[in-house]
């Protein structure tokens, strides 16, 4: 075991394993042999004391095979119908496979709106932690039959990142159809080299990943890297590994240099701030002056009206909003104490003037630091 892998695995207990459609499906729909192999390994881990949560794709691919549909499915109702057909089968296969090891499974289907609502988010957290305490394997997928664009996670890599934060996972393993992250697209370049360790997801690392997907998955490597950013931001290490390789999880958990390991960022983001930054969808933008930028990022201060240069969009009190600098670079996301029209009236002013201008003053800050998640320093600019 090499140093970094060893350190990464030394205190791991809660593990989120994400399995992509391209791993789970073959020519004949769900690949039962692969699922059995992976479940045998996961059951082994569970018996060793690891708490396992699974985010799985494969419902649509399985439904498509059931219905004998070849090629991509374009219409949303068809995709949703196929997910309804395939999800039941997917769960039955997992449940039978874990049943051979006397382990129970639980199905959880989620849409984005389940997680953007703080109350429902906390309910899901409690359910998941109860399942983990009971040693039941939670098997999570997007609720594809009801999810439309506005309430979709987009892909299961993103869903896995949200769940990693909810369960406070110690490690996320993303099982995919490739060996890991390459420096170039390996399907088009013979010179592509596997990157074994990523210390930080910089713009150069992002540039290595393309949006090309397998014929059955939705994310591609790009979505795996974007998910990696969110996962490592909560202080969780992340490994992209080849899901079809025999004994892949044993290799990962014994510290073999398989796939790509992404190290967590130094100072992890608190779970609620992570929720603000990565689960909520911003409803507008606030443009900050240089003084406010410095105060937020370097001194951990709240955003005051005096630091606001402009406002973009039409948001309400309590809405999530992105704070950007004058060049448009995103710095933070926060929940606002004033609506967009109110901020337009008080921007550039001292907090002591708020009451005079608006006729009332509920808060001194436009965004209080407790409701502000700094994301700016996560993206390292190219030198
Ligand atoms: N939720 C989809 C399914 O189970 C897959 C989404 C994805 O591949 O990211 O079929």
Do residue 237 and residue 297 come from a single domain?
no
Do residue 325 and residue 250 come from a single domain?
no
Whether 223 is in the pocket of ligand 1, judged by its Cβ within 6 Å, is: no
Nearest atom of ligand 1 to the alpha carbon of 21: 8
pLDDT at 265: 85
Do residue 123 and residue 197 come from a single domain?
yes
Do residue 62 and residue 179 come from a single domain?
yes
The residue-averaged pLDDT of 359-371 equals 96
Q: Which of 232, 255, 273 is the last residue of a domain?
A: 273
What distance in Å separates the CA atoms of residue 241 and residue 234, rounded to the nearest whole number?
Answer: 20
pLDDT at 72: 79
Do residue 23 and residue 60 come from a single domain?
yes
The residue-averaged pLDDT of 216-228 equals 79
Whether 365 is in the pocket of ligand 1, judged by its Cβ within 6 Å, is: no
- Cα 250 to middle of ligand 1, angstroms: 25
Nearest atom of ligand 1 to the alpha carbon of 217: 8
Whether 111 is in the pocket of ligand 1, judged by its Cβ within 6 Å, is: no
Confidence of residue 234 (pLDDT cuts 50, 70, 90): confident
Instruction: Look at residue 382 and tell me if it is in a domain.
Output: no
What distance in Å separates the CA atoms of residue 336 and residue 343, rounded to the nearest whole number?
Answer: 9
Structure tokens at 232: 């490592």
Residue 269 phi, psi (nearest 5): -85, 140
Whether 143 is in the pocket of ligand 1, judged by its Cβ within 6 Å, is: no
Instruction: Look at residue 381 and tell me if it is in a domain.
Output: no
Q: Is the predicted pLDDT of residue 307 greater than 60, yes or no?
A: yes
Nearest atom of ligand 1 to the alpha carbon of 142: 1
Whether 21 is in the pocket of ligand 1, judged by its Cβ within 6 Å, is: yes
Nearest atom of ligand 1 to the alpha carbon of 57: 4
Nearest atom of ligand 1 to the alpha carbon of 83: 10
Do residue 245 and residue 289 come from a single domain?
no
Strand partners, 25: 30
Q: Which of 220, 238, 273 is the last residue of a domain?
A: 273
Do residue 292 and residue 266 come from a single domain?
no
What distance in Å separates the CA atoms of residue 160 and residue 109, rounded to the nearest whole number?
Answer: 12
Confidence of residue 26 (pLDDT cuts 50, 70, 90): confident
Q: Is the predicted pLDDT of residue 380 greater than 70, yes or no?
A: no
| Nearest-CA residue for atom 5 of ligand 1 | 57
pLDDT at 28: 79
Nearest atom of ligand 1 to the alpha carbon of 20: 8
Domain count, the chain: 2
| CATH number of the domain residue 366 falls in | 2.30.130.10
Q: Any long-range contacts for 90-95 (C-beta under 8 Å, 24+ apart)?
A: 90/24, 90/30, 90/56, 90/58, 90/59, 90/62, 90/141, 91/139, 93/30, 93/32, 93/35, 94/35, 94/39, 94/54, 94/56, 94/137, 94/139
* pLDDT per residue as tens digits for the range 253-287: 999 999 999 999 877 788 899 999 999 999 999 99
Q: Which of 273, 308, 330 is the last residue of a domain?
A: 273
Confidence of residue 212 (pLDDT cuts 50, 70, 90): low
Instruction: Look at residue 74 and tell me if it is in a domain.
Output: yes
Do residue 266 and residue 288 come from a single domain?
no
Do residue 147 and residue 29 come from a single domain?
yes
Q: Is the predicted pLDDT of residue 185 greater than 70, yes or no?
A: yes
Instruction: Look at residue 58 and tell me if it is in a domain.
Output: yes
pLDDT at 150: 72
* pLDDT per residue as tens digits for the range 126-148: 999 999 999 999 999 999 988 87
Do residue 290 and residue 268 come from a single domain?
no
Do residue 113 and residue 151 come from a single domain?
yes
Confidence of residue 203 (pLDDT cuts 50, 70, 90): confident
Do residue 196 and residue 114 come from a single domain?
yes
- Cα 321 to middle of ligand 1, angstroms: 29
| CATH number of the domain residue 123 falls in | 3.40.1160.10
Instruction: Look at residue 383 and tell me if it is in a domain.
Output: no
| Nearest-CA residue for atom 2 of ligand 1 | 57
Instruction: Look at residue 380 and tell me if it is in a domain.
Output: no
Residue ranges making up the domain that contains 49: 3-273
How much is the pTM? 0.87
Q: Is the predicted pLDDT of residue 219 greater than 80, yes or no?
A: no
The residue-averaged pLDDT of 340-352 equals 97
Instruction: Look at residue 379 and tell me if it is in a domain.
Output: no
Whether 371 is in the pocket of ligand 1, judged by its Cβ within 6 Å, is: no
């Amino acid at each position: 075991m090499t140093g970094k892998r060893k350190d990464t695995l030394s205190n791991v207990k809660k593990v989120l394993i994400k399995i992509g459609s391209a791993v789970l499906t073959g020519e004949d729909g769900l690949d039962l042999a692969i699922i059995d192999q992976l479940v045998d390994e996961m059951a082994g881990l569970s018996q060793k004391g690891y708490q396992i949560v699974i985010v799985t794709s494969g419902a649509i691919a399985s439904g498509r095979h059931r219905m004998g549909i070849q090629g991509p499915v374009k219409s949303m109702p068809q995709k949703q119908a196929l997910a309804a057909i395939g999800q039941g089968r997917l769960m039955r296969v997992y449940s039978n496979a874990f049943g051979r090891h006397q382990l129970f499974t639980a199905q959880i289907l989620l849409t984005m709106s389940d997680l953007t609502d703080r109350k429902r988010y906390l309910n899901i957290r409690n359910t998941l932690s109860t399942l983990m305490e009971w040693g039941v394997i939670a098997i999570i997928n997007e609720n594809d039959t009801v999810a439309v664009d506005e309430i979709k996670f987009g892909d299961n890599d993103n869903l896995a990142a949200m769940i990693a934060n909810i369960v406070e996972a110690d490690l996320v393993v993303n099982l995919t159809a490739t060996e890991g992250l390459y420096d170039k697209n390996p399907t088009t370049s013979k010179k592509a080299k596997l990157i074994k360790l990523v210390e930080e997801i910089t713009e150069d690392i992002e540039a290595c990943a393309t949006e090309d997907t397998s014929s059955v998955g939705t994310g591609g490597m790009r979505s795996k890297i974007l998910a990696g950013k969110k996962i490592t931001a909560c202080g969780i290490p992340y490994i992209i590994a080849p899901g079809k390789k025999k004994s892949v999880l044993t290799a990962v958990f014994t510290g073999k240099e398989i796939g790509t390991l992404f190290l967590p960022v130094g100072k992890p983001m608190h779970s609620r701030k992570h929720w603000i930054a990565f689960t909520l969808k911003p409803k507008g933008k606030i443009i900050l002056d240089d003084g406010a930028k410095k105060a937020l990022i370097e001194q951990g201060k709240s955003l005051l009206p005096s630091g606001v240069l402009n406002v973009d969009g039409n948001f309400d009190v309590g809405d999530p909003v992105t704070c950007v600098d004058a060049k448009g670079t995103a710095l933070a996301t926060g929940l606002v104490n004033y609506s967009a029209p109110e901020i337009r009236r008080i921007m550039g002013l001292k907090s002591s003037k708020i009451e005079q201008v608006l006729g009332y003053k509920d808060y001194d800050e436009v965004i209080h630091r407790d409701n502000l998640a700094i994301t700016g320093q996560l993206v390292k600019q190219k030198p």
